[in-house]
Amino acid sequence: MSTLQALFADPPQPRYKGVRSHSQYLTMRDGAQIAVDIMLPLDLPADERIPALMIMARYWRSLDLRMPNPPKKALIGPRENTPDDFIARGFGLVVVDARGTGASTGVSRCPWSAEEIADYGEVAAWVLAQRWCSGRIGAYGISYEGAAAQRLIATGVPGIRGVIPQEIEYDVYADIALPGGIFNEAFIKAWSESNARLDSGRPSNLFPFAARLITRGVRPVDADRKTRETLAQALRDHQANTDVFAAMSCITYRDDPFGETGVTLDDFSIFSHHDAIQGSGVPMFTWGSWLDGATAEAALRNFNTFDVPQIVVIGAWKHEMTRDGSPFEKGDAPPDPTQAQQWAAMASFFERTLVKDQPPTGRVLHYTTLGEYGWKTAEVFPPAGAAAQTWYFQAKNTLSPELPGEPHAADSYVVDFEATTGTTNRWHTQMARPLRYPDRARADRRLLTYTSEPLDGAIEITGCPVVTLYVASSEEDGAFFVYLEDVDERGVVRYLTEGQLRGIHRKLSDTPPPYATGMPYHTCQRADAAPMPRGETVELVIGLQPVSALIGRGHRIRVAVAGADKDTFARIPATGAPALQVSRSRAAASRIVLPVIPR
């Protein structure tokens, strides 16, 4: 197995100086005009062929600046400046405005629609026919662009040899829209409002302030720059785009339709393309973060579901991978690996797959452990040797590995709808915000907590913790949030991971999920839903987001239970104050099962 450092130790060196760019429309099979930017080395010899990299953009391919684009530089877009770096190393770059967005005409019915993905395939076929292209294509990107890169494989276009999906969602329902069946209201609202501004030709409020000041709108293609007639038509088309927030707000069950589109969230999730991606054999280099939404789980689903060559890296950075987000690090620390090292590793992967025809073999995972420096490498996840360790809820808000002895015991908790994980959490960083989890000692006063005695020795938790709650509620529905935390000798409480589940979705599936997952699987489908019987104890099995964390000697393990996260998720129920009884008896022993690595 290679080490993480080996990934960026020997990248292709810069050999070109400067960039030449042009843009144009490509006409699709149905007449839609798709805007593309083509960026190549300025000094590329006429007879030289180089591989192409593609970015499929939802948030504009490039910006119409109030001043000239810097000469001999790649066109500036709303993303980190990978183009100049990769072009200098010998790659051409093609950046695409997705159908119904940017300067492209047409309508976006839903994210990653079938029409949109088909467009990617047509653009890729066009790229392969260009005289400068060597006949090999890679694709990459963060978030929407990274998920689009993985979906490009499903088009089946020959010549696609390697992709780098970074910080993506694998299952749109579970990973971003309704984790645990609970509407991720803050993110979906902000994302929908951002898209509406972009689709009207205005910079997003999620762009940095300086970027908004210098940007007029989306960059027209070259031939349309004077009249902007096609751009104007595109912006008119975009007004028919589906209102994402309105469509998502009406979804409770996984099989509910997305607006008036006739498709569900499953239909435009990555797992709906499983057979095409698996059959392609195309290598993937996936990146995720333990603390960025569900991107670590998405990376692990790739790792454990697809039997294609894979490299997976899971760190602790914010969504854009530009800053560290570990609660054990000082705020605003640089990421590990650094951005320069990330780009070097990406360039090395593309050189192997697109130039040397030496793609990686097998599967390897590199991951960091929160609270500990350095990186680990594994060929399976959870890693070999992981053992389940059970900790039970006990009297006086304690947590212990001993099974409770009381025949009847429970703790009362009235849901506090002011409880929150803040606005710099794992879900808000996906809105281009910082990722910070400050000391949660004060926040935990609003929650029902269970805390262990100080540990005699350090414990490494690597995998997906699972919490089983035996709970009775005064209401027929509710949102249940569980947090795993580290409490140090000074009483500082550090967030490690979380899980959530809506009460009506509590039934565990009788059938396996459509992908590999380390969590208990709830279908969240209408047929499997049921109200919670008022005052009766029910079992809730809640999988927490995967994590690797070291809880040090003398520290304590804490499990915190909440019924709300007001700054992120929709309130359930909409009115009232549910009174809960959380059982901790021998027969109904609420507990957490931790995947522990021997040390």
- Check residue 205 and give its pLDDT: 93
284 pLDDT higher than 70: yes
Averaged pLDDT, 154-181: 98
Classify 387-597 by CATH class.
mainly beta
pLDDT of residue 314 exceeding 80, the answer is yes
Is-contact 253 106, C-beta < 8 A? no
Burial of 250 (0-12, 13-18, 19+ CB in 10 A): exposed
pTM of the model: 0.97
Q: 14 pLDDT exceeds 60?
A: yes
Q: Is residue 407 scored above 80 in pLDDT?
A: yes
What pLDDT is attached to residue 109? Answer: 98
- Check 119, 194, 280, 319 and give the catalytic one: 319
- Give 283's pLDDT tier (boundaries 50, 70, 90): very high
Tokens of 577: 């104050």
pLDDT at 409 over 80: yes
Average pLDDT of span 423-444:
97
Catalytic, 143? Answer: yes
Q: Tell me: the pLDDT tens digits for 358-377?
A: 999 999 999 999 999 999 99
Cα separation, 462 vs 26, in Å, equals 47
- Mean of the pLDDT values across residues 170-193? 98
What is the average per-residue pLDDT within 18-42?
98
Q: What average pLDDT is seen over the chain?
A: 97
Residue 573 has pLDDT above 60, yes or no: yes
> Across residues 345-351, what is the average pLDDT?
98
| pLDDT for position 326 | 97
Quote the pLDDT of residue 599: 85
Provide the sign of the torsion angle of the four alpha carbons 317, 318, 323, 324, taken in this order: negative
User: For the chain, which residues make up each domain, given as ranges?
Assistant: 14-283, 387-597
> What digits encode the pLDDT tens for the residues 583-592?
999 999 999 9
Among residues 23, 104, 113, 143, which one is catalytic? 143
Catalytic status, residue 43: no
pLDDT digits (tens, 9 = 90+) for 518-536: 899 999 999 999 999 999 9
Task: Summarize the confidence of residues 477-487 as an average pLDDT.
Answer: 98
Q: Decide: 93 and 55 in contact? Cβ < 8 Å.
A: yes
Q: Say how far apart CA 63 and CA 65 lie, in whole Å.
A: 6
Q: Please give the pLDDT value at position 331.
A: 80
The residue ranking higher by pLDDT, 508 or 385, is: 508
Q: Report pLDDT for 430.
A: 96
Is 366 a known active-site residue? Answer: no
Instruction: Decide if pLDDT at 440 tops 70.
Output: yes
For the chain, the first-to-last Cα distance in angstroms comes to 21
Per mean pLDDT, which range of 20-29, 326-335, 406-415 is the poorest? 326-335
Least Cα distance to 558 among 594, 518, 597, 588 occurs for 594
Q: What CA–CA distances, in Å, run from 147 to 150, 209, 240, 503?
A: 5, 26, 23, 30
Q: What is the pLDDT of residue 105?
A: 98
In 215-331, where does DSSP find H-type helix? 229-238, 244-249, 274-280, 295-305
Q: 175 is written with which tokens?
A: 């990973």
What's the CATH fold of domain 14-283? Rossmann fold (3.40.50)
Q: Tell me the three-class secondary structure of 186-246, residue by residue.
A: HHHHHHHHHHHHHHCCCCCCCCCHHHHHHEEEECCCHHHCCCCHHHHHHHHHHCCCCCHHH
In this prediction, what percent of the chain has a pLDDT beyond 90?
A: 97
What whole-number percentage of the chain has pLDDT above 70? Answer: 100
| Cα 572 from Cα 556, distance rounded (Å) | 31
Q: How many helices (H) and strands (E) does the chain have?
A: 12, 25
pLDDT of 332 reads 83
Is 207's pLDDT higher than 90?
Answer: yes
Q: pLDDT of 285-310, one tens digit each? A: 999 999 999 999 999 999 999 999 99
Say what the pLDDT of residue 489 is: 97
Pairing assessment for the beta strands 19-27 and 33-41 based on DSSP bridges: antiparallel
The DSSP annotation for 434-457 comes to -------TTGGGGSEEEEPPPPSS
Among 37, 97, 292, 444, which one carries the catalytic annotation? 292
* pLDDT at position 158 over 70: yes
Overall average pLDDT of the 428-453 stretch: 97
